[in-house]
Chains A and B, each alone.
Chain A
Amino acid sequence: MLDTKGYPNRLGLRGWVGGGRWGLERYLYTLHRLTGLGLLVYFLLHIIVTSARAFGAAAWDASMARVTGPVFVAGEYLVFAAFVFHAANGVRLALVELGWAIGRPIEPVYPYRTSVDEQRPLAVGVLIVAALLAVVGGLDFFVLH
């Protein structure tokens, strides 16, 4: 997986941020990494902040008081939205990795067909599911509270 087979990664960061004309799935890959990194940073801080519950009510309330306000609510919503996208796209990646949802193997007869055509509905479905869940979450975060 990580073996570069002797070829250097000349593009570095640009190589995975920029997708050029590689299509929707290539940009989902970039977004998957960005949301993953964002979730990881939040998660590492979350472990430390929520450890205050081990010291009782006063420590917990003091810890939560430091992370309240509209900026933190907006930040938490971004974490929620990042999670629903990362989760839905992760399911797609797992399905594709297992060889599901990419169509059956066919003879390479002209005009050639690409398996991307088989995968595209799944990618669009991921975006729809993530958007719906993000809207439901937004309702709870900003309207019902």
Chain B
Amino acid sequence: MRDQRLWTWHVAAGLVVLVTLALHMAIMHLDALLGLFNPAGGHPIDWANVAARSRQGFFLVSYVVLLGAALFHGLYGLRTILHELGPGPALRRGVDVTLLAGGGVLFVFGAWAAWAAFALARTV
């Protein structure tokens, strides 16, 4: 029952990633064709463009939503693959704890970076 619920969340998170990551890919990698959200021109990773996006609340929220959804979707997918290899109960528990802790740390770190960039870009 618990795995069924987690699987449903995995699918739902995948749909969130589909939308937010498609937007991210379009901005960062289809810039010559679409030119979205790069107000300074040039390359999307030029600091002027990064700062311009970072200071917008929309990008702060969408980055954090993408971060959380992608971490859950990716790490739950990895958990499924590792569990299918047939580890014993102790190792399964170790995999679960490691992925949960690692995902939590990366989420906090990534969300902090998005918030710090937002605050920094607001001051310049």
CB distance from B47 to the nearest CB of A (A): 4
Known: A2-B80, A16-B84, A83-B25. A54 touches B47 (CB 8 A): no
Bin the interface of chain A by size.
Answer: 35 or more
Q: Which residue of B lies closest to A84 (CB)?
A: B25
B interface majority secondary structure:
helix
Contact of B30 among A2, A64, A136 (CB under 8 A): A136
A interface majority secondary structure:
helix
Docked CA distance A51–B83 (Å): 31
CB-based contact B110/A139 at 8 Å? no
CB-based contact B29/A90 at 8 Å? no
Known: A83-B25, A91-B18. A47 touches B74 (CB 8 A): no
Is B101's CB within 8 Å of the partner chain A?
Answer: no
Is A76's CB within 8 Å of the partner chain B?
Answer: yes
Q: Which residue of B lies closest to A61 (CB)?
A: B47
CB-based contact A43/B70 at 8 Å? yes
CB-based contact B67/A47 at 8 Å? yes
CB-based contact B32/A51 at 8 Å? no
Contact of A137 among B29, B45, B116 (CB under 8 A): B29
CB-based contact B77/A36 at 8 Å? yes
Known: A60-B50, A139-B33, A144-B33. A80 touches B25 (CB 8 A): yes
Is A20's CB within 8 Å of the partner chain B?
Answer: no
Contact residues of A between 74 and 102, Cβ < 8 Å to B: 76, 80, 83, 87, 90-91, 94, 97
Docked CA distance A141–B33 (Å): 10
What are 17 A-B interface contacts by the 8 Å CB criterion? A1-B6, A1-B80, A2-B3, A2-B80, A3-B3, A12-B85, A47-B67, A56-B120, A57-B47, A83-B25, A87-B21, A91-B18, A94-B11, A137-B30, A139-B33, A140-B31, A144-B32
- 18 additional A-B pairs beyond A36-B77, A141-B29, beta carbons within 8 Å, are A2-B80, A2-B83, A2-B84, A9-B86, A13-B85, A16-B81, A37-B78, A39-B74, A43-B74, A47-B110, A51-B109, A54-B120, A55-B116, A90-B18, A91-B18, A94-B14, A136-B30, A140-B30
